[in-house]
Structure 1
Amino acid sequence: MAKVLITSNSKRDLWNILSIALLVAAGAWAQTVTQKPDEVVYKLAQNASMDCQFIHTPEQQVAKNPILYWHKITSLTQMTRLWPDPESPYKDRVDVLDSDRNSPNRSVLLKNVQWEDSTGKYECKLSYRAAKQDKRTKGSGVKLLIHDSMFFGLENETQLMCAVNVSRDDGFVLSLLQDGSKVFQKTIDPLHPSMSLPVTLSVILPLEKGKNYECQIHLGSTMIMSQPFQQPLETPGTLEKVLPEPAFLFVAILLVPITVLLALLTALLVLRR
């Protein structure tokens, strides 16, 4: 087998070839819409930011300011205009984050997210004129996932429960830790027939005194929320047993001088007679 000798000249030629390839690739990527990340997670009733960037090279001059459209795609045949549309169900809930029409930033803010907002994908689309032609391009879409506040407390005197409502997505994982070690885990059953929103993830664990507990909700490998559980130092029953004893002693101490005083008064009355 013949050996290939790479010299400094050949290295320079190789770099030139790579540079040309990058320029060609840049031209191929011109006039594109990117939406990153492809899924975002927000708490119920928060405002959700959804990214959209319009990218094109200087060589690909855009003669007409791009017209922005946002749609919610729930199926191949069902699409809802998110913005702009005065008749949209999302009216007054969507703001464009950058009002400059020449800006590459075409992101929007969806206000006060609700459970029904977590169905489907949100697509960013742009219509514009470049190279004397009308063109349209769109992003790959972004999925909105929602969670609610976490409950983590006593189910009864002997059991501890952690529960949280989430939108339907197989990536959500609820975990319960005892002294730093994972002891229980719950995910959404993808075969569950119910498609209702929200979905409740809950875990119940026997409570042991002196143990430290923590509940966590993850989306894949990313932690969304965690909450520790603080065990009460004393139970109400113990407190009731402790309180009467000092009260009894206090009353007994007060009775001693009263008894002595009564005895002295009785003695004085006897002497006067």
Structure 2
Amino acid sequence: MKYRNRVQLMDDNINSRNKSILLKGVQWADSGMYQCKLSITTEREKGRKLGGGTVLMIYDTMIFNLTAHNDSLLCCEVKVTRYPNLFLSIFHDGSKLHSVDSAPNSTAAAQPYVTLSMNVSVRGGGKYECQLHLNAVLIMKSSFLHNPPVSGEEQDADKNVSLPCSPTVCDPGAVVFPEPWFLYGSLLLVPITILLGIIIIQKARC
């Protein structure tokens, strides 16, 4: 009953080869092991099922920022499915600072999720990055750029920024290539040049 109106075929056409199904409106309670089976009936066999299992793990938005009560303490926090081998790691300019494992899976727990949280002391300026891993696989990450106050000047809090991940934000060293406008212009000139050549030839024949 809890899946009513939340499971649908990716392609409703009965003759379609795509028999994939979609689970909509995923909730914390949906996490766990699923078995996906395809029933096949042939002339030789009345019926058989092919397929396998997969684990559905859910995670919330990662929060990575200075704590409200201490501007020299960074806190990384994220809600995840109660599943072993999920852990957080925090890095400062590429050096790992600390990690904490998720709570062990417990059927007696009141909530279907666990909150992974860790605090680290700010060790000077630079890029801090919090990463959520499943074993060796990176699931998600968030960055925090810290600019310590200059001696004799007031600290500008706006310089300390928690950044969502993108290729250029989470990796400031990523190479960003400029738009090849010269190439675009050259490609545009090719048909114009051909058209002008045809007009000139036509006029010469007249």
TM range (shorter): 0.5 to 0.7
1:94 aligns with 2:3: no
- 1:238 is matched with which residue? 154
- Equivalent position SS for 2:154: helix
1:151 aligns with 2:63: yes
Contact persistence 2:78–2:117 (CA under 8 A): yes
Please report how far the alpha carbon of residue 100 of structure 1 lies from its aligned counterpart in structure 2 after TM superposition.
Answer: 3.3
- 1:177 is matched with which residue? 91
**Kindly tell me: are residues 239 and 142 of structure 1, through their superposed partners in 2, closer, same or farther at Cα, counting changes over 3 Å?**
closer
Give the AA of the match of 2:26. V
Give the AA of the match of 2:144. F
Give the AA of the match of 1:238. E
- 1:204 is matched with which residue? 119
Give the distance between the partners of 1:143 and 1:213, measured in 2 at CA.
Answer: 31
Please report how far the alpha carbon of residue 203 of structure 1 lies from its aligned counterpart in structure 2 after TM superposition.
Answer: 1.1
- Equivalent position SS for 1:131: coil
**Kindly tell me: are residues 200 and 169 of structure 1, through their superposed partners in 2, closer, same or farther at Cα, counting changes over 3 Å?**
same
Which structure's CA Rg is the greater one?
1
- 1:228 is matched with which residue? 143
**Kindly tell me: are residues 181 and 194 of structure 1, through their superposed partners in 2, closer, same or farther at Cα, counting changes over 3 Å?**
farther
- 1:106 is matched with which residue? 19
- Equivalent position SS for 2:29: helix
Please report how far the alpha carbon of residue 140 of structure 1 lies from its aligned counterpart in structure 2 after TM superposition.
Answer: 1.4
**Kindly tell me: are residues 191 and 121 of structure 1, through their superposed partners in 2, closer, same or farther at Cα, counting changes over 3 Å?**
closer
Runs of 4+ in 1 over 6 A off after TM superposition: none
Aligned CA RMSD, in angstroms, stands at 2.6
Give the distance between the partners of 2:78 and 2:37, measured in 1 at CA.
Answer: 31
Give the AA of the match of 2:41. R
Structure 1: any 5+ residue segments left out of the alignment? Answer: 1-87, 241-273
Give the distance between the partners of 1:142 and 1:188, measured in 2 at CA.
Answer: 20
Please report how far the alpha carbon of residue 193 of structure 1 lies from its aligned counterpart in structure 2 after TM superposition.
Answer: 7.5
Structure 2: any 5+ residue segments left out of the alignment? Answer: 157-206
Give the distance between the partners of 2:139 and 2:26, measured in 1 at CA.
Answer: 17
State the TM-score, normalizing by the size of structure 1.
0.49
State the TM-score, normalizing by the size of structure 2.
0.64
1:131 aligns with 2:43: yes
Kindly indicate whether structure 1 or structure 2 has the higher relative contact order, using CA contacts under 8 Å at least 6 residues apart.
Answer: 1
May I ask how many residue pairs the two structures share in their alignment? 151
Please report how far the alpha carbon of residue 132 of structure 1 lies from its aligned counterpart in structure 2 after TM superposition.
Answer: 5.0
**Kindly tell me: are residues 239 and 164 of structure 1, through their superposed partners in 2, closer, same or farther at Cα, counting changes over 3 Å?**
closer
Larger helix share, 1 or 2: 1
Give the distance between the partners of 2:107 and 2:42, measured in 1 at CA.
Answer: 48
Give the distance between the partners of 2:102 and 2:132, measured in 1 at CA.
Answer: 12
- 1:142 is matched with which residue? 54
**Kindly tell me: are residues 183 and 129 of structure 1, through their superposed partners in 2, closer, same or farther at Cα, counting changes over 3 Å?**
same
Please report how far the alpha carbon of residue 213 of structure 1 lies from its aligned counterpart in structure 2 after TM superposition.
Answer: 0.7
